[in-house]
Amino acid sequence: MQHSNSPHILVLPFPAEGHIKPMFNLSKLLSHRGHRITFINTHHNHTRLLQFTDLASFHTQFPNFHLTSITDGVPQHLPPNEFELIISPTSRSNVAKEFRQLLATLVRKPSWWGPPSCIISDGLMSTVSMSVAREFRVPIIAFRTYSATATWVSIHVSKIIEEGLMDMQNAEDVEKVLTSIPGLENFLRECDLPQILKLKPGSLYIDFYIKETLAMTQASNLILNTFYELEAPIITKLTTIFTKVYTIGPIHTLIKTQVKNNISSCLHLRQEDKSCITWLDNQKEKSVLYVSFGTLAKVSHEQLLEFWHGLVSSMKPFLWVIRHELFNGKASLGHNVPIELELGTKERGLMVDWAPQEEVLTHTSVGGFLTHCGWNSTLECIVEGVPMLCWPLIADQTINSRCVSEKWRVGIDMNGACDRLIVEKMVKNMMENQIERLTISANDIAVKARDSVKENGFSFCNVENLIKDIGSMNVRK
């Protein structure tokens, strides 16, 4: 069988939307540049992708892009995409077994695409991918879908906990400033660290976090969806651990500069409600607060009502994304909604199950974003120069929020507030009192983000270097 000379890349994301999206965008870019891609989703996410993505348009534009799937390791009678189930040792073992079988087949009985030239693995799939890559002698590159700062903190704190030098569970002062993370001395507080670090040593979550992070450092090279001008000092720190660090972000902006008709080939794992764009068309410029807590976060009914009261009382127009699975154990708001909230929302608000977020953030009527500070949302906001009101919940979001509010100064941290009066006050403060200051800072960083993906920009050049290095791996295989 004759194989193409183009590199064949296996891409293995962690099974969460915030991880899949940037890795899918990078895969499209590499495919556009002539590489052959095998993108490996879990069965559940693969089915969702097939349901909501225009595959005919996609494969017309990317004929060398193969979509396949393996198990997420969760038994069929249990709910898919539940984080606790996905990261359990049994599930991870099942995933590793299927990934090994897939790689063995591709290496020993390659298709017309040829054997894999390299693997691009999510940093949170490292215990699955690293040992298998070594076994079959396939080069591997880690892709951490966090910011450089959150990645550096993850690596450093994991080592500290592993060595028994930090006991987050017994931390008495959450406002205590940390001095033990090089490059971030006197910047982060204990409350800015991921919440799972406060669990008991040996817990499922903390074991997963530490093992995956430390396994990721076995890779020689690291890809990050950030840009050099945003996090230069920390990116430099990461080069002491990895031979090469490719900062290629914002990848969602970079791909638009290189791939024509990118919208028709976008990844969709949910049905978007585009009616919100028409609603935005009828609002005043910079008047609307966009509200979304991402794809994973869950809130209680009480928390949602507090936010709702605060938003309505702020008297600001708002567009609010409320996923059907946003509530803890509940599928809907039910009928116990105060009449003043219904009337206030009808007058100046709109709620949708899911929105085309990139399009929303580019809209001229959007003046701010009340966000969970997931890294994709943060980058999308930064590129468009939209100020942020930060309510971080899980994972790296607290670190992102700290950087947004105190380092880059393009947003305000709500400090975990979930009281209707505080929500009202903070929305008004950002949209009225602080908007000029925040917008100036946001626009300044937005220019740097867009410049980075232009020809000869840092991110543009890093993608070129990545493509060149993958080509060298293909020659050596």
SS3 per-residue string spanning the chain: CCCCCCCEEEEECCCCHHHHHHHHHHHHHHHHCCCEEEEEEEHHHHHHHHHHCCHHHHHHHCCCEEEEEECCCCCCCCCCCCHHHHCCHHHHHHHHHHHHHHHHHHHHCCCCCCCCCEEEEEHHHHHHHHHHHHHCCCCEEEEECCCHHHHHHHHHHHHHHHCCCCCHHHCCCCCCECCCCCCCCCCCEHHHCCHHHHCCCCCHHHHHHHHHHHHHCCCCEEEECCCHHHHHHHHHHHCCCCCEEEECCCHHHHHHHHCCCHHHHCCCCCCCCCHHHHHHHCCCCCCEEEEECCCCCCECHHHHHHHHHHHHHCCCCEEEECCCCCECCECCCCCCCCHHHHHHHHHHEEEECCCCHHHHHHCCCEEEEEECCCHHHHHHHHHHCCCEEECCCCCCHHHHHHHHHHHCCCEEECCCCCCHHHHHHHHHHHHHHCHHHHHHHHHHHHHHHHHHCCCCCHHHHHHHHHHHHHHHHHHHC
The answer to whether 225 touches 202, Cβ cutoff 8 Å, is no
Catalytic residue among 8, 19, 32, 156: 19
Has 122 been annotated as catalytic?
Answer: yes
SS3 per-residue string spanning 454-465: CCCCHHHHHHHH
The answer to whether 383 touches 251, Cβ cutoff 8 Å, is no
Catalytic residue among 8, 32, 44, 122: 122
Has 19 been annotated as catalytic?
Answer: yes
413 pairs with which residues across the strands?
390
CA distance 179 to 171: 14
Q: What is the identity of the amino acid at 229?
A: E
Residues with a known catalytic role:
19, 122
